[in-house]
Amino acid sequence: MAFLASALDRVKPSATIAVTQKARELKAKGRDVISLGAGEPDFDTPDNIKNAAIDAIRRGETKYTPVAGIVPLREAIVAKFKRENGLDYTPAQTIVGTGGKQILFNAFMATLNPGDEVIIPAPYWVSYPEMVALCGGTPVFVEGRLEDAFKVTPQALDAAITPKTKWFLFNSPSNPSGAAYTRDELKALADVLVKHPHVWVLTDDMYEHLVYGDFVFTTPAQVEPSLYDRTLTMNGVSKAYAMTGWRIGYAAGPLHLIKAMDMIQGQQTSGACSIAQWAAVEALNGPQDYVGESRKAFEKRRDLVVSMLNQATGIQCPAPEGAFYVYPSVRELIGAKTQGGKVIETDEDFVSELLEAEGVAVVHGAAFGLGPNFRLSYAASDEQLEDACGRIQRFCASLRR
């Protein structure tokens, strides 16, 4: 009899974590490596947020919290959704988790039965299909093609919906492509969903505040109010406030779903870290200067990276509307040979040979369900990005076609 659960046969390790770990190991051996694989702001958490955590420690806010989160944080979440998204929730309709991942996982655990389908646009964040599979559901992928700026069309979404569809999992701005849907594009998808009342919407808005130029962020329940009663709107403080290690995600949605997620979390981890919750209260309620400053810095980096990568031989790099990733195509380099005679047959070959030859760590597109591409995170200093993109240009120029 096998000792490990058969559920593990349905999932794969996280490719983004694997790349980051490999880069760390090479650095430890003395290699000159620029790691652009992680989805993490390189800025420090703002001082007002750190000070709020220190004050909470000094006040003795070190005990267990309610499973769904402390009341001041749930009230801050309600205020945030009203202020920034025009959505009305009560504190009882909110829940706080240990990062956005737990919110997603608990929602799937609370709702999926064997055979239930979850529509996931590709390219997708590596954890989405694995979470669905672990919770007994079936991922159904809808491709957002390069020609469509990596966005799913209403026609493709409609064609993917079956009587077994339970969720449409939506992420804008997107990890890994940075693609963000305009209000009109989102309304067109919502019009499809309105026709299928059995399909719920799980929207991952983690990169909400990282949009560039004159782009205006919107979220599904805001664009189409009739979806409100079947939408779980998920967000968090990690990307917007450089709080990845604090591990605070949150969501709001229909009360019966929130109660089910609360019950699961109560048997799983209980409440999130008390100190991190108080820090998140300050993040949502306090000064928002950092958000605008970081957005400007990321937009400058995006422009640098897009420009330099489009100057590399054989690379096509669209300019994303948001997040801090680019998702360049290496289609023209498939079949090329390295100086050592290795044939680049896949995007995984490309990133592996790039790391070996030039010490630049990025993540291959196949891990995100769409290739031949790679994801590069520009959450790094301007100097590192310029150096890394120069190395990528050199590597591409060295390939023989």
pLDDT in tens, 174-206: 999 999 999 999 999 999 999 999 999 999 999
Query: CATH 3.90.1150.10 occupies which residues in the chain?
Result: 6-44+290-396
Is residue 350 pLDDT above 90, yes or no? yes
Kindly indicate the confidence band of residue 2, based on its pLDDT and cuts at 50, 70 and 90.
confident
Is residue 12 scored above 90 in pLDDT?
Answer: no
Domain with CATH 3.40.640.10 in the chain: 62-285
Task: Give percent above pLDDT 70 in the chain.
Answer: 100
Residues 6+ apart with CB under 8 A from 144: 121, 122, 123, 150, 151, 152, 177, 179, 370
Residue written as token pair 């709001």: 252
Tell me if the bond preceding 220 is cis, omega within 30° of 0. Answer: no
Topology (CATH level 3) of domain 62-285: Aspartate Aminotransferase; domain 2 (3.40.640)
DSSP 8-state secondary structure symbol assigned to residue 149: T
Strands 117-122, 325-326: parallel, antiparallel or unpaired by DSSP?
A: unpaired
pLDDT at position 15, please? 76
Q: What is the pLDDT of residues 62-82, one digit of tens each?
A: 999 999 999 999 999 999 999
**The pLDDT of residue 23:** 83
Q: Is 50 exposed, middle or buried (0-12, 13-18, 19+ CB in 10 A)?
A: middle
- Residue 80 and residue 302: Cα distance in Å, rounded? 27
Confidence band for 32, pLDDT divided at 50, 70 and 90: very high
- List the structure tokens of 91: 């504190």
For residue 384, what pLDDT band results from cuts at 50, 70 and 90? very high
- What is the average per-residue pLDDT within 166-180? 98
Residue 26's CB is within 10 A of a number of other CB atoms, namely: 17
Distances (CA, A) of 320 to 4, 36, 175, 191, 325: 41, 17, 11, 25, 8
Rounded to two decimals, the pTM is 0.95
Q: Which pLDDT belongs to residue 20? A: 78
6-44+290-396 is a CATH 3.40.50.300 domain: no
pLDDT of residue 250: 99
